[in-house]
Every structure is written in structure tokens, then in C-alpha cells.
Amino acid sequence: MTSPAPSRMERILSIGGWLTRFSLMLGAAALIPAGWFALSLYQEHREGLPPVPDLDNYRPPSITRVLAADGTTLAEFAEERRIVVPYQRMPQRLVQAFVAAEDKNFFDHDGVDLKGIVRAALVNLKAGRTVQGASTITQQLAKQLLVRHQGYSKGRMRSLARKIREAILARRIEYALDKEEILYLYLNEIYLGHGAYGVQAASQAYFSKNVESLSLGEMTLLAGLPPAPSRFSPLKNPKSARTKQGYVLKRMIEEGYISLEDAKAARQEGAEKKVKVRENLFRDIAPYFTEQARQVFVDQMGEEELMRGGWTIQTTLDISRQIKARTALQEGIEALDRRMGYWGPAARFQPEQVEAVAKTYAKNVLKGAPASREREHLAIIARTERKRALARVGDELLPIHLSDHRWMRTGRRRAYSLHDRPTDLRRRFEVGDLLRVRFDTDRKGREKLRVVQDPLPEGALVSQDLRTDYVVALAGGYDFDRSQFNCAFQACRQPGSAFKPIIFSAGLALGGRIRRGAPVETITVTTQLSDAPIVRHDFSTGVRWKPANYDRSYTDEVTLRRALMMSMNLPTIDLFERVGSKKVVEWANSIGIEQELHVDASIALGSHCVIPWELLQVYALFGKAGQRPAKRFITRIESSEGDVFEDRADYRDVWASRFERVDRMARQALEPPEQVIAPGIAYIMTYLMRQVVDAGTATRARISGVPVAGKTGTTNDNKDAWFVGYSPHLVTGVWIGERFNLRPLGRSETGGRTAAPIWKAYMTAALDGTDPGDFGVPDDIEFAEVDARSGRLGGKTRLPYMKGTKPTRRVRVDNQSAGVSDEL
């Protein structure tokens, strides 16, 4: 039977089916070479990719934080400023904000969103420019890993090869990790501008808070940053940041994450206005100390660990004492500088330029706002009179009074007059002078200006706890911004008489000979030393040396006790020569001085330079009853995971837990301190230097109710002034000198006048509210009632001696009846 002829519709369907099959055949034929091409690309680019992070050992480059003893952050060091936080700490809405803004199909694709690529291509084609990206969150994570693995330039290169490698790595990440783990890595890796990597670092950088404390407005502001952190920065471009935030909120509404009311509330927060410039922690609190702690860490762990390791470095710094140290040093240097005189304006302009300079300062520095009364400013002199001058600070015109500036003597190079006080400001200022000023008020509450200047002198103050050996405060200079040179650890300057305790302790410990060939004699606090004039010749150089006491006076003999108390030079040289120069140098090196000292009698008077820190260690040795102090800047080092790498804290650390105290006490019991000198020698030195403070050259260092021992130091030309001293629990050293060692500080600027008041200002504040303690008497000390002038028994002065060394001869009766009296 013949089949009926096909209808028109059937013929059309038949032709369509044939075309479909033909198209499929053509497509299949085309896919074969395309597949081979894709496979070849994969084979070419799959090698050399970074591994998918192992979450159990995930340790990206992170911030190493340096903390003070109380946990205050002192500094942060990092190649990438990142603080890794667990996924559980991240608020759900924060995660949703990033997903909505960056990858709405994140939970549906397997690393590469093909639909998103096509959609973005069509949108960009229609717009004629790139307005929509197609990288998934996983691809963005892959890009970040590639940058770290290959370097910034190669890892971010715009090329097809890079995109292929990025896609391959993204697929590997999706196969190895679940979505929550990918988000954990992404939110800790993504760059969010201003050096911040990850949401926790960004939260702290922009809002000074932890990620879990962010509001919805703050979260959405951060979520808008990944495409272009600089363009959408709330610090640089707050309007653009707010516009991008609106987009993120709109996307969250579309995805059902928040309501319209939530979005409106977030917009009303004005999160972009809450953003603050992150302070420079390193420079703000204790830059010299922090740099020293950094060097200690790098010496132990290396620079790479510092910059990439994410360590937490707990230090010994006491914030309260550090502020007091910095204040005392700066105020002391400024007071000294005023005594030295006025060094002239910061700059000088022509009178006709005054108005332009003032307007420029108002526009570029003050930004049209009134000058802050809390900080220094630059002022330009607009008019001068005998008793006052008028100066412009921006748009404001304020007076400078002669009565506030009597210190403005003319600074001279070699000597400074105490009487060259100005009587006419017209001799100090000219119209057009640019000055540093601070705001002040007179008795009637009217505003005025006080001139300040960058001090010519420099200085250092370092303080160490004698019980724990913690360095609790360090000011290595007047201002870190002016000079990063740490005078406490890098400046080698002549100590003058501050070196004498080394000579006297050597005599007490080693004994000496009155003349060559004589037997070694025991030296005590009442040993008689020569105070007669001497002349020494160095035949190898032809130099003739004729030392003298500071006040140019002489006697025949004095006791060792009085010689140190009054800082007498000639008896010190006599003691030095009795002990022997080589023995003294060896002794100095053994108790803390690391410099290679020259071997001649001038070192007895402090002619060889020393580092302030080294000299402090000598005095700390005396204060610690002869035990060598440790150099403690760092107490504890923890990894980014919280594991304790090193714990060298003292068991008396006030911030330690009970468990830590017990553990540290056991450790320290197995590591006894090194006993360098006999406790009795250290005690006698402490006793002698208490006399220096009580009635000698350092009376300006006395603190009511606090036992204090210490010694002043002044060089011959008054270029250096020192005071190093200690209470039973705290040792502190102060050095003051001209920055470049070019000129003297002034004829009357001695260690007692210049350095001791700074020391006292700091120590008084540092010990306020604490138990000052007392100097304990060791077992190898005995006391005797002696005559202070002759050193014989039978007097009224109670002096310490090493056991077996107290005097045996008694004062003659006729001397007593003649009125021989004790000096103290």
C-alpha cells in the first residue's frame, strides 16, 4: 500500500529536523578542535600554581604587633597589614554584604560563573565600556594567592594567561574547600585599601574597632571597596564611597538579606563621616623603645618573620612611665635651650610678603578653620614695638610680650651670659620673621603667643626596673621626627665624673698599691687619698697633662668617701694609679662597659666615651647587690595562632596570671642571676653615692621620702652633662649634650644643674604612689663608728666596711678635745 504524500507541515518539520541534526553535527565538529584548544591551554597553565591553602596551617603574611606591658599597641610591622580572624567572628550581614556586592551566584557556581561572564560581556558591550565585572569571589581569592606567589606585577598582569591560571586555581579551590571555608579565606585576604588586607584590618584602619562591632552602614561601606579600594575610599573620596555603599545596600535588598527600612537606617548612619585617619602608632607613644624592641626581635627571629609572621610581641614598656620620661626630657631640654639663648627665626621674609605668607598658611595648613589652641603653629611677625610684637597665625593677629621672653639672650658659640636679657623686642624680631609659637592667655584671660624654638641640645633618658630588669621607659632623643638616632644606645659620649664610681668600686674590690713594689693594701671608705697637684707627661706623644679639681682647690689628703661625695678629680687619679690602669680597664669591662677603653689616667675622669645604656648597667649592678642586670625589652612572643613561642617575663610581672607566675618562678629558680661583684662592694658603692645625693654634687636629685643613690658627670668643656642614679627599685640615666658635639651647653651647665633636675622630675613622677623600698644590708657588711676626717675608730659617723676591713686604730684624745668633728 502506497503511503500518503507528506503534508506541507510535515515537510517543514522534516527539513527543520534535518537542519537541527546538521547543526549539531557542525557544532560537534567545531567543539572537537575547541576542546583540544581548551585542553592545551589547561596543560600549558596548570603547572606552577600556588597550592590551595591548608586551613589547618593557614598562615598568610600578617601584622606583627608590638605591645606595651599593659597590652597597648605600640607599633605594627607587616608587608600586608592583615589580622586573621575566624569565620565565626564575622557577622552574618557582613558576609552577605560582600556576597551581594561581589558574587550573587557564589553559592551556586563552582568557581567560574559562565552565566555571569556572558551577562557582564553583554552589559559592557551595550555600555561601550567596562561597567560590570565577572570575577567570582573564588576568582578574586585566586588572584590574591597568585599575587603573593608570583609577585605583584606578574600576579596582576592584564593578560589571557593570567585569567586562565586564575580560573584553574579557582576551580581547584572549589574542589578542595567548602563555601564557608572559601569565604573565610577571601574575607581575610581581600585588599580593602590604605594598606589593610582582610576585613579585620580594614575595620581597625577605618573605624578603630573589631569586625564583630561593625554596624550595617560600616559593613556595606567596606563591602563596596574590593573593585577599586582607592576610588571608593571613604578617606579619599567619601562621596564615591557613599554612592558605592548605596549600590551594596540595593543588592542586599534584592537578595532578601535586609529590608528597605534596614537600608535607610544604614544610610542615615553616615558611616563615611565616622572614618578617621589611622594614627601612626610607632611614632606616637614610644618610637625609640619600639625600634629597640624591633631590633631585639629581628636579631632573634629575622626580618622576614617580623614583616610576615603575624607575631604578638609583648614588651616591658610601662606606658605611664614612658610618658613621664618623654615629658621630663623634653621639658628639661627646652629649659636648657632657653638658658642657652635665642637662635633666630625659622625663616625670614620681606615685610611686603607678610600678608601673602599668612594667607597661604590659613589656606593650606589651617584649611580655613581657626588655629587649634592645643598644638604649635607658625606665626609671622607683622609689627614690632619695644615691649611687644604682633604676629599673624593665619587670619588671626595676636601679641608676643617682652615679659614672656626674657630668656631670649643672644646665643653665643663658646660662652653664654646670664645677664644678656632683652629689653627691646625690636632687637630680637624683624617684620617678616617666621616663628614657632604656642597659644597662651594672660591673667585677664586674653590670648597671646609664646615663642618656642627647635632646641639645639639633645638628650636621652632610659629607666630600668631593678627587680625585674624590665626597661620601663626610654626616650632616646628630644623628638623622633627630628632624629631617629637613639642617643641612649648609639651615642658614645664622654661621661666625665659619672665614670668615677667604676674607679672607686675597682679600688674597693681589688685594693691597690701606694707605690710600685709595695704590697697590695685593702681600700675602704676611709682610705686616705692624695689631693695634691700633679703633672703627668706622655713621652710618646709629648703631651703634658695637669689635672685639677673642678673648683681649682687643693688639700693634702681626703678620705675616699669625701672624694666621691664631692667628685674630686685628684684623689680619683690617685686611686686609679694605686689600682693600676689595666686592672681598672678590665674591671670596667667586667661590670658593664663594652667600649674598648684606652689605658691612661685620663679615663679616671671620664675622658673615654661610653654608651648611656652601658653606664646605666654599671649603676644597675650596684643597685642589684652585685648581680648582673639583664637586657629585657621583650617578655613574651606569641604566634598568630596564640601559641607561646617564648616567655621570658618575670614572675613579679603585675600583668601575669597566677599560673604564669608559678611557672616563671620555677623557671627563674633554675636560672639564678650572675653574681658579678660581692654584695658588700655594691652596698658600699650605694652608700657612697647616697652621700653624693644627700650632701654632694647631686643635691638637686633628692626626693623626699625616697632613698636615692647616684652620680653627676660633667665634661671639662661643658659639652656633656650626666646624672645616673637609682632608688631601691628603679635605676635611671640621663645624658644631655649638644646634638653634633660642636659647642658647650654653657659655663654653669653641669650634671647637677642640667641632668639631675630632669632625672628628679621623671623619678618623682615614676615612683609616685609606689613603695620606694630601702637598700638592704648584705651579710658581708659590718659597720663602725669612726671619725669622718681621719677614718679612725672612736668618732660619731657610722660607716660600712667589708667584714674584716674596718679600722683598728682609734682617734687620739687630744684630737677629739681639739674639736675634730664628723662631717656627716
Rounded Cα–Cα distance for residues 433 and 392 (Å): 11
Q: Which residue reads 553616615 in cell numbers?
A: 270
Q: Which residue reads 624592641 in cell numbers?
A: 293
Rounded Cα–Cα distance for residues 71 and 327 (Å): 22
Please say whether the dihedral angle defined by the alpha carbons of residues 548, 551, 556 and 560, taken in this order, is positive or negative: negative
Structural contact between residues 453 and 481, judged by C-beta atoms closer than 8 angstroms:
no
Structural contact between residues 273 and 262, judged by C-beta atoms closer than 8 angstroms:
no
Catalytic site includes residue 102: yes
Structural contact between residues 648 and 642, judged by C-beta atoms closer than 8 angstroms:
no
- Checking DSSP bridges between strand 64-67 and strand 312-315, what pairing results, if any? parallel
Dihedral (Cα; 742, 746, 748, 751), 10-degree rounding: -40
Measuring CA to CA, how many Å separate 293 from each of 286, 620, 633?
11, 20, 6
Q: Which residue reads 624683624 in cell numbers?
A: 430
Structural contact between residues 459 and 757, judged by C-beta atoms closer than 8 angstroms:
no
Residues 6+ away with beta carbon under 8 Å from 701: 693, 708, 710, 723, 725, 752, 756, 757, 759, 760, 763
Q: State the DSSP string of 34-71.
A: HHHHHHHHHHHHSTTPPPPP-GGG---SB-EEEE-TTS
Residue 688 has a CB neighbour count (10 Å cut-off) of: 27
Task: Please tell me which residue in 76, 80, 102, 577 is annotated as part of the active site.
Answer: 102
Task: Please tell me which residue in 463, 497, 727, 790 is annotated as part of the active site.
Answer: 497
Percent helix, percent strand, percent coil in the chain, to nearest 5: 40, 15, 40
Per DSSP, helices labelled H in 110-237 are: 114-127, 137-150, 152-155, 160-176, 179-189, 199-207, 216-223
Structural contact between residues 460 and 735, judged by C-beta atoms closer than 8 angstroms:
yes
**Beta bridge partners of residue 637, listed in sequence order:** 313, 646
Rounded Cα–Cα distance for residues 529 and 733 (Å): 28
Catalytic site includes residue 748: no
C-alpha cell at 91: 557577622
Rounded Cα–Cα distance for residues 454 and 457 (Å): 9
Structural contact between residues 796 and 789, judged by C-beta atoms closer than 8 angstroms:
no
Q: What angle do CA 274, 278, 282 make, to 5 degrees?
A: 160
C-alpha cell at 94: 557582613
What does DSSP assign to residue 411?
P
Please, is 410 exposed, middle or buried when counting C-beta atoms within 10 Å of its C-beta (0-12, 13-18, 19+)?
A: middle
Dihedral (Cα; 547, 552, 556, 558), 10-degree rounding: -90
Work out the widest C-alpha separation in the chain, in whole angstroms.
167
Determine if residue 820 is left, alpha or beta; phi over 0 gives left, psi from -120 to 50 gives alpha, anything else beta.
beta
Q: Which residue reads 658635639 in cell numbers?
A: 741
Structural contact between residues 461 and 762, judged by C-beta atoms closer than 8 angstroms:
yes
Return the active site residues. 102, 497
